Structure 1
Amino acid sequence: MAVNELRKPVLAQQGTLKKRIRPRDAASLLIVDRSGDELRILMGKRHMRHVFMPGKFVFPGGRTEPADGRMQAIAELSEQDRTKLLDDMAGRSSITRCRALALSAIRETYEEAGLFLGQRTEFSNVSHPDWAAFAERNVMPDLSALRYFARAITPPGMPRRFDTRFFLAFREAVADSLPEQTGPSQELEELAWLSFAEALELDIPDITRIIIREAQGLLEANPSLDPGNPVIRYRLKYGRFVREVI
């Protein structure tokens, strides 16, 4: 495992914390449109009512729910991606949790962007109300379209902390979409497909900027997103935010 320290130190503010907040599992999905002359990714602006990063442009994503791991899928994660997720869970690994992380990225993409990633087929017996829209449209999630490529843990001292896994998928994996071009949660506004250069010009969190560049580098090295790519992890270690290759 290779480790690089980022130049800017991050203060943990351990002494000022009244309560140590444990990061919650979360997932985020970068959808890549490769139909034009240059690659484009989907981003949206977080509503100003949000306590966490209001007004910032981000990818679709959010907290992982336990029920996500019990959702049906028409195809599972590649063996390589599943192994990377399991190996990166620090003693809390399970196939169900692994699936929940990947499936929550798909669910949150529907809730925030109105996009259904999967394949057409009839199915029922959904395990979460938010998955009912997939069954109604006969779109079963397809985990094989996702590639796990990055992880970032919010440093201590923040009002909310997330242990976020980032996935990549091509736009061809989108089987259907809502006509209003937004998700039912309406958490993201101004959804747009942007080039990497355009995305980097937006008002985005530092970690989002880092993840965009990691995705750009991965796609340059592996344009077809074949399984088996390295996973990049960002976390606080000895008072500094470090980049690890796992």
Structure 2
Amino acid sequence: MTVIRPRHASTLIILRREGETTRVLMGERHGRHAFMPNVTVFPGGAVDPVDHRLSCAFDLPGDSVERLLDRPRGCTARGLALAAIRETFEETGLRIAHRTGRSLRSRNRDWAEFNEGGFEPAVDRLAFVARAITPPGPKRRYDTRFFATTIDAIAGDPDDFSRASGELGDLSWIDVDDVLSRDIRPVTQRGLRFALKWLNMPDPERPERPIPFTYMRNGKRVLDKV
């Protein structure tokens, strides 16, 4: 059997806390997608080479950089985080950004559109919370990094999805208790649980938190740490 090498991917879990309720932004993948059609997911997708080349004024927290660079095989920590921001913008129309007025000088259409009005990706507002590699077998495999952030990292109206590409349908802020009770992919539930742990940790403890790493070995799921 041909072994499919997983492609690097990133996903972003955006949390919205209002009083005693915490919600998360999710949507349903289109039925025409070859990978996980009609599945409710967080925004995200494959890393593009342009994500590694883009220059911006902000960077990830140091603890995230060190953990992301654990066996990355040809990718950069910032590129992984930028992919999560770019894919979120494409799929939802929402910018995780600082308005600096600076030009990104990118020929990439998606990043050029993101930058309209002087917005730069707020990489510094992302936390690396989990990693998972899809099992061998499918035609497509992904080595996915899960990032988390909060609603205040969004530049603009968090309920305005008018610029969304349509890749994700039924975009909405869903109560996390509802998400955890749904019949959705286990890796999605685990990613959300890890993001909630990060959200509820005191700031001084966050750099020391373990980062779960899920993958398959000899047909069994392994939960490691990075």
Match of 1:188 among 151, 160, 168: 168
Q: TM-score, normalised by structure 2?
A: 0.91
Mean Cα deviation higher: 148-157 or 181-190: 181-190
For residues 72-128 of structure 1, give each alpha carbon's deviation from its aligned partner in whole angstroms, at most 9, with x where no partner exists. 323110111111111242xx366xx22111100000000111110010011221252
Q: Distance in 2 between matches of 1:80 and 1:223?
A: 13
How do 1:69-218 residues align onto structure 2 when only pairs under 5 Å count?
Answer: 69-89=52-72, 92=73, 97-124=76-103, 125-176=105-156, 181=161, 183-218=163-198
Residue 7 of structure 2: aligned partner:
24
Q: 1:243 to 1:182 in 2, by over 3 A?
A: farther
Bigger shift: residues 75-84 or 209-218: 209-218
Q: Is the 8 A contact 1:86 1:93 kept in 2?
A: no
Cα distance, 1:220–1:202 mapped onto 2, change above 3 Å:
same
Deviation readout 1:179-228 (Å, 9 max, x if unpaired): 85155431101111112111123342121122122222333334798444
Instruction: Flag the 1:51–1:183 CA change in 2: closer, same or farther, 3 A.
Output: farther
Normalised by the size of structure 1, how large is the TM-score? 0.84
Q: Displacement, 1:20? A: 1.5
Q: What SS does the corresponding residue of 1:221 show, helix, strand or coil? A: coil
**CA RMSD, Structure 1 to Structure 2 (Å):** 2.1
Structure 1: which 5+ residue stretches go unaligned? 1-16
Mean CA deviation greater in 124-133 or 165-174: 124-133
Alignment of 1:54-69 (within 5 A): 54-69=37-52
Return the alpha-carbon distance in structure 2 between the equivalents of residues 23 and 83 of structure 1: 21
- SS of match in other structure, 1:31: strand
Matched residues in 2 for 1:74 and 1:85: separation? 19
Q: 2:151·2:158 contact (CA, 8 Å) conserved in 1?
A: no
> Is the CA contact 2:93–2:165 (under 8 Å) kept in the aligned structure 1?
no
**After superposition, what is the alpha-carbon deviation per residue over 1:158-184, rounded to whole angstroms, capped at 9, x for unaligned?**
121000000001110111359851554
- Runs in 1 of length 4+ with deviation above 6 angstroms? none
Structure 2 regions of 5+ residues with no counterpart?
Answer: none
In 1, Cα distance between the equivalents of 2:19 and 2:185?
Answer: 27
Identical pairs, percent: 40
Of the two, which has the highest radius of gyration?
A: 1
Report the counterpart of residue 12 of structure 1 in structure 2: none
